[in-house]
Amino acid sequence: MMSKSEKAAKLEPIPKSIMNIAWILVLGAVMPLLDSTMVNIAIKHLSNDFSIGLDLIQWVITGYVLAMAISVPLVGWMVQRFNGKWLMIGANILFLAASIASGLSWNIHSLIVFRVIQGFSSGFIVTLVTTLCVEVAGRDRMGRLMSTIGIPTVLGPILGPVIGAVIVQFLSWRYIFFVNIPIGILAITLMILKLPDFTPANMKAKFDFIGIILLGAASSSLIYGITKAAKSATFNNSTTIGFVVAGVAILVIYMIYAAIKKEQAILPLRLFKSKNFSAVMVGLFLAGIATNGPMLLLPLFFQNIKGFSVLSAGLLLIPQGVGMLVARPLIGRLTDKLGARNVVLVSLALAAVGTIPFVFFNEASSLIVVSVVLFVRGMGIGGVTIPMMTDAYTGMVKQEIAQASVGTRLMQNIGGAFGSAVLATVVSISIQGSAPTIPLMTTAYHNGFKLALVLCLVLLIPTLFLTNKKSKRSMFNGKK
């Protein structure tokens, strides 16, 4: 017989109806998450097809990322005012239409325009998936449902480069966009037929035009500035400094504005009075560099140091993805049962164990050892972001969920951009001005992984302010 405490500790299964809603929403997020990784593979082919230099071609990616950042604050307002079901359907239809148009592009300028539309609708999709899932999850199921909606985030980096490499090698870059047609039609059909209506949390929410513009401008300015650092291989360039300073200045202006507007601001400062929400925001930014940054370095390490093709490098990353997938269900259950703090602490330890060997790996390192280390690293990084995201919503009422989603999604976008750019710049600086020999490039990659490892340790600090089981219960009891 189980004691009362054991019964209380045992998690109730998630109703099938709720899981079905989560899976349909997740299916809608597959298109943008696959696309964002596949397009990276096709950049050189785009350059050759359009006879354009890489500087202009890069806007195929940069335009997408910036449009995504700009759209996030707008979603936060719209989901409070309008039915989430039809917002999600509309965003998927727009993304699918932009995908078809991208595949039919007649020159580089038309492709960039269609990619901007894709990025804008992608910002809607990924923000809505989180917001709507949190609404249907309930307090005791949030971790497990968040681990479910995180699956496309895992599958994107695993399958995207592999599928993209196969398509580019055997077909044409245009099919990278056309592959969205069957996925999009299936997702949209299921949403129309099966998704319930999502009652708006606050139909009287005023359109915070100034707040939306300020947050969109700040995030896009920061992302663009740090992206230019990676391309110029130095942080000390006028473009990076100018845009980063402008981004920070706009954020300061937003904070002053939000302090005046109070509850009417799209991201109220009151949310930051919650220790765990503030810790999550800092943690998501650091995680972008510590855990997501190496995702850029790993395929480059396999290509430049081990001498593998793009397709082979993508296949070598599968053990890391498998580790993330294996950890996901366990992470969700433990987060619901124990709270986020202990889960993230253990996950950071695993992520560190899976990163340390890359400070020493070289061209002669065994692929079996590398694969085992990647599996461990995957399990670790799979348990960092999801518990943090879950904890951001701890103790919040319905109308605060959309506001919190704006903050967490913006921070993920900025942190992810910083992660890729900072580590790429560290590697570039290490080989600048010298002949790119294998030993020198190996040392450069080691330096990138060292920085990721240090930031993994720094990430421990905000983690200590996340909730555990006891503090989580007390917060829920205190919230009506």
> What sign results for the dihedral spanned by CA atoms 361, 366, 369, 371?
positive
**DSSP code, position 79:** H
| Residues sharing a CB contact under 8 Å with residue 458, sequence separation 6 or more, in sequence order | 286, 290
The CA distances from residue 456 to 421, 422, 453, 463, in Å, are: 17, 14, 5, 11
- Would you tell me how many other CB atoms lie within 10 Å of the CB of residue 260? 9
Nearest Cα to 42, choosing from 121, 141, 148, 115?
115
The runs of H, that is alpha helices, within 233-274 are 238-261
Q: Find out whether 378 and 321 touch, Cβ atoms under 8 Å.
A: yes
Neighbouring CB atoms inside 10 A of 399's CB total 13
DSSP 140: G
39, 63, 96, 116 from 53: Cα distances, Å: 16, 16, 28, 19
pLDDT in the model for residue 10: 58
Whole-angstrom distance, CA of residue 369 vs CA of residue 162: 22
Sequence letter at residue 368: I
Q: Which helix (H) or strand (E) holds 300?
A: helix 293-304
Contact 31, 183 (CB under 8 A): yes
Structure confidence at residue 202 (pLDDT): 67
Joined tokens for residue 252: 């300061």
The reported pLDDT for the residue numbered 480 is 40
- What pTM was estimated for this model as a whole? 0.75
Q: Which residues of the chain fall short of a pLDDT of 70?
A: 1-12, 44, 53-55, 138-140, 142-143, 148-158, 201-205, 207, 229-236, 397-399, 433-435, 469-480
* Single-letter residue type at 449: F
Taking alpha carbons only, the member of 197, 255, 232, 279 closest to residue 428 is 232
Locate 362 and state its tokens.
Answer: 């070289």
Q: Return the pLDDT at 152.
A: 67
d(CA 45, CA 286): 33
Q: Report the pLDDT value the prediction gives residue 138, as an integer from 0 to 100.
A: 65
The dihedral sign for the CA sequence 317, 380, 10, 394: negative
pLDDT for the residue 372 = 92
SS3 465: coil
In the prediction, which pLDDT does 94 show?
94
| Residue 71 in tokens | 């759209």
**Torsion-angle region of 136 (φ positive above 0: left; ψ -120 to 50: alpha; else: beta):** alpha
Residue in this structure with the two tokens 């990076």, named with its chain if needed: 240
Calpha distance 406→77 (Å, rounded): 9
Q: What is the pLDDT of residue 180?
A: 87
Q: Where are the beta strands (DSSP E) in 207-358?
A: none
pLDDT recorded at residue 16: 79
23: amino acid identity, one letter: W
CA–CA distance, 403 with 79 (Å, rounded to integer): 10
Rounded Cα distance, 471 and 276, in Å: 10
